[in-house]
Structure 1
Amino acid sequence: MPPKLTKAEQTRRTRRAILDRARHLFATQGYAATGTEEIIRELGITRGALYHQFGDKLGVFKAVVVEAYDQITAHIRTRIAPLETNWAQLVVGCQAFLEVAQQEDLRRLVFIEAPAVLAADTLVEIDQYGFGLLQESIQLAVAEGDLQVVDAEGFAHLVNGALNELAAWVAQSEDPQRLKTAQKLIEALLIQHQGHRVMGGP
């Protein structure tokens, strides 16, 4: 006979089941078309359990998006891990973020549903860690002379805004060429501000 689950473990499993089911529904049919009853129907969970864990449907969605952003960060870290220089990591890290916009499990959820459902300041809060990594990399590139920009923090916001817009554009199509174009554009933006190019002159 298996050991009886502790209350904490039961709570953890319930939370995990709700998140997995909700993520599938939000990613395949969208936030508006998904009801709380549909999320819990096949799980043997009460509506009260869902409300206790997350507050409401929006709370479930926000938790799903937070996990999706963690997955994006992990994807970027995997892509840049073998690279030796900060400059290479900056370029490839930006390109890796764009790759996510054509990953079927994340594409609709992060780049179509999340901006439509969540307030802009909520998305900024969720993306705080990822933006922090981008900003650190840009600040280091400036310090090492690889980038020459008017202001490192302002440039980080500029690149982040460009990445989000390009990702939304990529997410609207399954054409792999669109992804390649977006990756070339973000690389061109960074190269345009390369320190040695600016210091060397025309």
Structure 2
Amino acid sequence: MTVKGRRAEYKELTRSAVLDAAAALFADQGFTATTIDDVAQAARVSKGTVYYHFTDKAHLFEAVFRDRQERLAEDVAAAAMRHDRPWPRLDAALDAYLEGTVTDAAHRSLLQQAPAALGAERCRELDEQMGLPALQSLLDGLNDAEELSVEPGPMLTRLIFSALCEAAMTAGAAPDPSEARHTAAEALHALLAGLRHHPPATRPRNSARRPSPGERP
């Protein structure tokens, strides 16, 4: 490995160490109470090193939030791809998203702090950057299989994604997040079932038509 390659690898390892330390601190003691000095000490680097990678604490929190959401997206994609059919893929993706955002206490804490740390609009932008394309792909798969009763345009995708995010936030804030997650999953699956296309029932070929009133048999 060249000197340049070793330096790049060291920078990446240092950045990852800072992200992991910050994620633990933000989840444990909160964004407001955590200082850059705390992060530097936990990551065993200098304060200047933290600032080399991140301009301020908000920038650091955004990087942590994005990193954790990207990891979650990978888990969601893996859960979906364990299934061959479009509907089981969508169901598995929704369950995996709720599992990752609600059951994981650290991730749940970061998700709840994000609006105050980054602003609601920035949180929405990040969620849509990482979540909408994947959801759109799943809905397109349903449409291609002719299993969706409506066209999966941007509006439908945003509405479903908004419902998913709201379910995660509401369940995460519940006294019993695990129980609330199951309730949220049931509600989401029920809502999506209403979008499922059911082919019309066909009359058996050998069935006789019943005569209408007044009609001669």
Aligned twin of 1:107: 108
Cα separation, partners in 2 of 1:131 and 1:29, compared to 1, 3 Å: same
Check conservation: 2:164, 2:188, Cα contact below 8 A. Answer: yes
TM-score normalised to the size of structure 1?
A: 0.87
Q: Which segment is superposed worse, 21-30 or 11-20? A: 11-20
Please list the CA deviations of residues 108-151 of structure 1 after superposition, one character each: whole Å capped at 9, or x if unmatched.
112x0112222334323423132101011112212322111265
Q: How does 1:81-160 map to 2 (within 5 A)?
A: 81-100=81-100, 101-110=102-111, 112-127=112-127, 128-149=129-150, 152-160=153-161
CA distance in 2, matches of 1:54, 1:133: 28
**Structure 1 residue 188 displacement after superposition:** 0.7
CA distance in 1, matches of 2:78, 2:122: 26
Q: Which segment is superposed worse, 64-73 or 126-135? A: 126-135
Q: Which segment is superposed worse, 150-159 or 62-71? A: 150-159
- More helix per residue: 1
Q: Looking at CA atoms only, which structure, 1 or 2, has the larger radius of gyration?
A: 2
**Structure 1 residue 9 displacement after superposition:** 2.8
Aligned twin of 2:24: 24
TM-score normalised to the size of structure 2?
A: 0.82
Check conservation: 2:140, 2:152, Cα contact below 8 A. Answer: no
Cα separation, partners in 2 of 1:54 and 1:91, compared to 1, 3 Å: same
Q: Which segment is superposed worse, 131-140 or 171-180? A: 171-180
Which consecutive residues of structure 2, in runs of 5 or more, have no partner in the other structure?
202-217
Question: Helix, strand or coil for the counterpart of 1:18?
Answer: helix
Root-mean-square deviation (CA), in Å?
2.1
Q: Paired residues, what number?
A: 195
Question: Helix, strand or coil for the counterpart of 1:72?
Answer: helix
Which consecutive residues of structure 1, in runs of 5 or more, have no partner in the other structure?
none
Q: How many percent identity over aligned positions?
A: 28
Is residue 47 from structure 1 mapped to residue 72 from structure 2 by the alignment? Answer: no
